[in-house]
Homo-oligomer: A and B are copies of this chain.
Amino acid sequence: MKTIKSVGEFGLIKLIARNAPQFSGVVKGVGDDAAVLEYSKTHYQLLTMDTIVEDVDFKKRGTDPALIGRKALAINLSDIAAMGGNPEAALVSLTLPKETPVSFVTRLYEGLRRLATEFEVSLVGGDISRGSKISITVMVLGQASKRHTVFRSGAGPGDVIGVTGALGGSILGHHFKFQPRVREGELLAKFQVSSMIDISDGLLQDLEHLMRSSKRCYTLDRNTIPISLAAKRLGRGNRAAALNHALCDGEDFELLFTVSPLKFESLKKEWKHTFATKLTRVGEVLKKKPAKQKHLASMPGFQHF
């Protein structure tokens, strides 16, 4: 019997996406950071939804519930950011064991609410269910101007591959405390980056997603990869080990994008005046089209099953 562990997350998504019904108004369904629907003459609507589960994405014990609530929203804001969009409203579905303390729930919502307020996202509903483990699903609705919506599929030959922030070692705390790159994503979109994704499964794996969607090959300059302090700590003085964390660890939630070399230069200038976060050129999109697909399940990076 074939289990989902054997086909993996991406195999499963492929199976599901194949026959997904699509009616008018759908610009992009499954396969990008967010679904894209027609909204107005000038704007698209963006939809994204993500779940975090106790003992998989977080431990209840020893974790401030506010961080759990914050994370459940932040990962969705990161998806909206990766489209160059602006988040507007969120729904929250909570599954809780019945013996959960009320104080746990109110604290969880405090974390959620604080981040929502920071990004001016309205919390407009959802539901509460009973279950044996805590699980939180957040859905975020956003908007993006049609001119500046960024898909995974637009990388062109010769484009610079760029990344925000520093990578790796998120397990030491960043995976709870990361700042969704919404403002950064908007600026990147304004400079017409040709493709974009947020790094949730690790730089290598998410770059593979980007290149596969764009049908391009790439070259990565391993000497330029911005390695986080956490990755260095995990590497214990061994640069190769630290680099490995930067390339393969999941949940960085930085933005990975491609952009023409000319636009990258002007982008860098404006970036410096606007953000303290780093912006690094890490590689280049090649002219060559990929010969055949590697099996993604064999890629390094976070495996969901």
Q: A128 to B304, Cβ gap below 8 A?
A: yes
Assuming the A-B contacts A102-B3, A120-B23, A122-B22, are A127 and B51 also in contact, with contact meaning beta carbons closer than 8 angstroms in the complex?
yes
A2 to B107, CA, bound (A): 14
Q: A91 to B35, Cβ gap below 8 A?
A: yes
A102 to B6, CA, bound (A): 9
A234 within 8 A of B: no
A246 to B13, CA, bound (A): 41
Q: B93 to A124, Cβ gap below 8 A?
A: no
> Shortest beta-carbon distance, A41 to chain B, in Å?
11
A55 to B132, CA, bound (A): 9
Q: For window 72-120 of chain A, which residues contact chain B by CB distance below 8 Å? A: 88-89, 91-93, 95-96, 98-103, 105-106, 109, 113, 116-117, 120
A30 to B92, CA, bound (A): 10
A-B contact pairs, 18 of them (CB 8 A): A1-B101, A1-B103, A2-B101, A4-B128, A16-B105, A21-B113, A21-B116, A21-B123, A22-B123, A22-B124, A23-B120, A23-B122, A35-B125, A51-B95, A53-B130, A95-B135, A129-B304, A130-B305
12 more CB-based (< 8 A) A-B contacts, given A37-B89, A37-B124: A2-B103, A21-B116, A21-B122, A30-B124, A30-B125, A35-B91, A35-B124, A51-B135, A57-B129, A98-B305, A128-B304, A129-B135
